[in-house]
Structure 1
Amino acid sequence: MTGISVIIPTLNRTDFLIPTLHDILRQQVNQPYEIIVVDQSQDKDQQVITLADRHPLLHYYHIDFFRGLPEARNYGAQKAQYDVLVYVDDDIECKPDFLQQHWDTYVKRPDIAVVAGGITEKFKNNTDGKIGQFVNKTATPLRSFHKEGFFEVDHAGGGNFSIRKDFFFKVNGMDENLTQGAALYEETDLCLRVKGAGGKVWFNSAAHVFHLAADIGGCRVSDIKKYIYNLVRNRSLIISRHLKGFDKITAKAELFRLVLAYAISYKKPALIKSFFTASKEGEQTGMKPIKMTVYER
């Protein structure tokens, strides 16, 4: 069905989610749209339920049978009724033309499968670099989505991107094998699979959000040992799945260098040992099929 489905996974962030929803509800767009909130908090969010009662286009799902950002994104896609899926974080601000900008990108370029929207960190530094580039020799996804432009890129930022629903399911959605830890690299993996299937990823800075970077809830890992293990595991999955030849060697060397720097900085030599375990697990997982749970409609 022609239109836009906005999917917002959330976890324990009511104070940020409500203003985000108000911004999405104020959209001025020439297509029908809906908002799908996938809430993995322990308790149902009564404020969102009350808001949904007043706005029929807002659909609230409180989930207690899975935990994970890739799972929430796959669940939202399967609940979506429209043919363009827009994913945003639960702690963003956007202008009334936000959805129109996403939609117009597909109208201008019918060959586009993914739109990477602009993302400006409101309270943190915005790093400078090549926008949306994936560096093969280090397996590093560069961001800099705060800059202006309209051109093809390698990947999108997880806090603001859209994808044609048919292409989402063509590449089997988000890989739930990346759920572990902070779900690092899940949108990078999705975009690289889209490009491998012949789709284009296009950056449109005008489809812009401000990211508030809430310091509570959401998808995060505070334990440095767990964070490093998950980083190595998931990046090793990316290396195994998407890189070839010498790039694999240089990317794995860069990953080891990064872990060594953390081990020295935090005075935790055990991080070096965990590198080898996590690396092996990531490589093996990268050879497995994409995992997307099919939920009842």
Structure 2
Amino acid sequence: MFFSIVIPTYNRKLILEKCLAALENQQLTDTKVSSYEVVLVDDGSTDGTLEWLATRADKFPHVRCFSQVRQGAAAARNLGVEKAKGDIIIFIDSDLIVTEQFLQAHADALVKGEKQLGSDRLFTYGWVINTCNFDNPTAEPYKLTDFSTAYFATGNVAIARKWLEQAGLFDTRFQLYGWEDLELGIRLKKLGLKLIKCPAAVGYHWHPPFSLDQIPKLIEKEIHRGRMGVLFYQKHPTWEVRMMIQMTWLHRLLWGILSLGGRFNEHSMAPLLQWLIDRGKSQLALEIARIFLNWHNVRGVYAAYEEIQQSS
């Protein structure tokens, strides 16, 4: 099998270097993988990503770079699949640092899964471990908060390109943050594809330590995720999708109670969050901040849904 690792990127030059370096250090122990390439799609970066890559072509021999005017991750991944040479596509993000056994682990799981199922209607999904350790991201242990129940998420997944093409690739109307991969997952599930967990294919998802100045952007992402969630529901108007995007009375009640109707918000909770950050507990501060972030998300979902109802 020939792997094409498709990576969309936007203004992540610093962590991108670690991401690409890790992919150059892959240890392939048998002949399951004939070769691999890294298909990087720059989605209109303004931080000099393309210029930086042009001066380091010899450092990253597996990388082929393409660019587009900013259109979002869905369009960038579609372009990556179009340009890819491989029969197996691996999707990761440009802030993911993988281990040396990453590709081999996906290859082993794909072969084993096909034998067990008696079918090639499958894809493999590796572990994603969140970390804010920039200097040594792979030192982070697996945590309960890293567990994911997602069926198809592009943080660390390997799939035959024929299934992507048969499902129709990503819907490029998902231009804001969120849901484009899970929406494609609904279509893949209808094709009968099975999820094979692959914990040996580990990727470390780096993000900077949480700080209060990140909150406005995080709130904006939650509002965008709400709007894209409504698009997801329009395409697949099922109870399952309503649960996923938090557009139910249960979510409205839950986050309304936890946030005291919005009284626990980015302003009222700022002193507590800063106190935790000052004591080296930025991850705990972020988990607490998710109370009002989820409240913003639920409100964003219903606001977007009401707009659509009124316009129709």
TM interval, short-chain normalised:
0.7 to 0.9
How many residue pairs get matched? 257
Structure 1 Cα separation of the partners of residues 233 and 141 of structure 2: 28
Distance apart, 1:118 and its partner CA: 0.7
Does residue 158 of the first structure (1) align with residue 154 of the second (2)? yes
1:88 and 1:101, CA in 2 relative to 1: closer, same or farther beyond 3 A?
same
Give CA-to-partner distance per residue, 1:100-125, whole Å, 9 cap, x none: 11122221122343211111112399
Secondary structure in 1 aligned to 2:262?
helix
Distance apart, 1:14 and its partner CA: 1.5
1:244 and 1:17, CA in 2 relative to 1: closer, same or farther beyond 3 A?
closer
Partner of 1:212: 206
Distance apart, 1:235 and its partner CA: 2.6
Distance apart, 1:175 and its partner CA: 1.8
1:236 and 1:127, CA in 2 relative to 1: closer, same or farther beyond 3 A?
farther
User: Structure 1: which 5+ residue stretches go unaligned?
Assistant: 130-142, 146-152, 285-297
Does residue 57 of the first structure (1) align with residue 51 of the second (2)? no
Partner of 2:86: 82
Distance apart, 1:17 and its partner CA: 0.7
- Which one-letter code corresponds to 1:11 in the other structure? Y
Q: Is the 2:227–2:300 contact (alpha carbons within 8 Å) kept by the matching residues of 1?
A: no
- Which one-letter code corresponds to 2:57 in the other structure? A
Q: CA RMSD in A?
A: 3.5
1:222 and 1:61, CA in 2 relative to 1: closer, same or farther beyond 3 A?
farther
- Which one-letter code corresponds to 1:105 in the other structure? A
Partner of 1:278: 304
More helix by share: 2
Does residue 97 of the first structure (1) align with residue 96 of the second (2)? no
Partner of 2:270: none
Partner of 1:46: 51
- Pairing of 1:1-297 with structure 2 (within 5 A): 2-29=1-28, 30=31, 31=33, 32-40=35-43, 41-42=45-46, 43-63=48-68, 65-110=69-114, 111-123=120-132, 128=144, 144-145=147-148, 155-180=151-176, 182=177, 184-214=178-208, 222-223=216-217, 226-242=220-236, 244=238, 248=242, 251-257=247-253, 260=256, 261=259, 263-266=262-265, 275-280=301-306
- Which one-letter code corresponds to 1:104 in the other structure? D
* TM-score normalised by the chain length of structure 1: 0.72
Structure 2 Cα separation of the partners of residues 74 and 169 of structure 1: 10
Larger CA Rg, structure 1 vs 2: 2
Distance apart, 1:165 and its partner CA: 0.4
Q: Aligned residues: percent identity? A: 23
Structure 1 Cα separation of the partners of residues 23 and 59 of structure 2: 14
Partner of 2:284: none
Distance apart, 1:224 and its partner CA: 6.0
Structure 2 Cα separation of the partners of residues 50 and 246 of structure 1: 47
